[in-house]
């Protein structure tokens, strides 16, 4: 089975994907590295720009029939069997990206993306099998157990479990309000 782990930058994709792969005995593949390896990504100002269709072709050809956990914020756009969308309180995204040294603008962009369910919406647009997992206040072990539990019990779709509009007031400091 090919499982995508997606979500807003900073949500915990790499941490969870590696641990999930280890627990399931699957291979771990980082989509960014895979794209660069296949020549369908190029580095522009430290970020990788990817040709989605070309990358999907290589994923289909090389990963589809293997047991792989695919890590990346574009992995839900690939031909996978299951998409796991990780979610976290947008404040956590803001704090983690600040620690990573992202610019104020980049932090705001990503906090907003988490607030408005941007990746979830893209994922459900592309796939039927989408599982959303709220990682807030959970350890990586707990999150991975939750994912494995859902897979083992045959759950293929579970979406609509968080609503960050309820915590909007807490994340105002991170937002790019007033067209800044
Ligand atoms: P992503 O791949 O989505 O950008 P990372 O896996 O790199 O996210 O995680 C971002 C940061 O958050 C890392 O410092 C990681 O150790 C930490 N982290 C990830 N998941 C958790 C968690 N469940 N609890 C606490 N810290 C976490």
Distance CA 58, CA 35 (A): 9
User: Is there a binding annotation on residue 136?
Assistant: no
Q: Are strands 41-44 and 47-50 parallel, antiparallel or unpaired?
A: antiparallel
Q: What is the pLDDT of residue 179?
A: 58
**41 located within any domain:** no
**58 located within any domain:** no
User: Is there a binding annotation on residue 100?
Assistant: yes
In angstroms, the first-to-last Cα distance of the chain is 44
* Widest pairwise Cα distance in the chain: 48
Predicted confidence (pLDDT) at residue 19 exceeds the cutoff of 80: yes
Element (H, E) at 22: helix 13-24
Is the shortest distance between the CB of 100 and ligand 1 below 6 Å? no
**99 located within any domain:** yes
Q: What is the pLDDT of residue 177?
A: 81
Predicted confidence (pLDDT) at residue 178 exceeds the cutoff of 80: no
| High-pLDDT (> 90) share of the chain, % | 92
Q: Give per-residue pLDDT as tens, 86-111.
A: 999 999 999 999 999 999 999 999 99
Ligand 1 site-directed mutation target among 4, 5, 9, 15, most atoms within 8 Å of CB: 15
Give the number of domains in the chain. Answer: 1
Whichever domain contains 155, its CATH number is: 3.40.50.300
Is the shortest distance between the CB of 135 and ligand 1 below 6 Å? yes
**129 located within any domain:** yes
Q: What is the pLDDT of residue 47?
A: 80
**109 located within any domain:** yes
User: Is there a binding annotation on residue 179?
Assistant: no
Distance CA 135, CA 87 (A): 6
**Closest Cα partner for 75 from 32, 42, 24, 22?**
32
- Can you spell out the DSSP letters for 11-51? SSHHHHHHHHHHHHTPEEEEHHHHHHHTT-EEEETTEEEE-
Q: What is the pLDDT of residue 123?
A: 98
Burial of 11 per CB tally in 10 Å (0-12, 13-18, 19+): buried
Q: Give per-residue pLDDT as tens, 30-64.
A: 999 999 999 998 888 878 889 999 999 999 999 99
- Can you spell out the DSSP letters for 115-153? HTTHHHHHHHHH-S-EEEEE-TT--HHHHHHHHHHHHHT
**136 located within any domain:** yes
**75 located within any domain:** yes
**19 located within any domain:** yes
Is the shortest distance between the CB of 12 and ligand 1 below 6 Å? yes
Predicted confidence (pLDDT) at residue 180 exceeds the cutoff of 60: no
Atom of ligand 1 minimally distant from the CA of 7: 3
**Which domain does 113 fall in, by range?**
2-26+71-174
Is the shortest distance between the CB of 9 and ligand 1 below 6 Å? yes
- pTM (two decimals): 0.96
């Amino acid at each position: 089975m090919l499982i995508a782990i997606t979500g807003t930058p900073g949500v915990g994709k790499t941490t969870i994907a590696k641990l999930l792969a280890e627990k399931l005995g699957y291979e771990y593949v980082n989509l960014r590295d895979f794209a660069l390896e296949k020549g369908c990504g190029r580095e522009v100002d430290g970020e990788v720009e990817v040709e989605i269709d070309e990358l999907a072709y290589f994923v289909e050809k090389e990963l589809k029939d293997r047991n792989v956990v695919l890590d990346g914020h574009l992995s839900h756009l690939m031909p996978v069997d299951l998409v796991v969308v990780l979610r976290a309180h947008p404040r956590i995204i803001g704090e983690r990206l600040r620690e990573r040294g992202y610019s104020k603008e980049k932090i705001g962009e990503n906090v907003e993306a988490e607030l408005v369910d941007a990746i979830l919406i893209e994922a459900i647009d592309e796939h039927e099998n989408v599982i959303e997992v709220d990682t807030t206040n959970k350890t990586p072990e707990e999150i991975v157990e939750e994912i494995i539990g859902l897979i083992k019990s045959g759950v293929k779709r579970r979406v609509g479990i968080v609503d960050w509009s309820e915590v909007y007031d807490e994340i105002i400091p991170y937002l790019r309000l007033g067209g800044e």
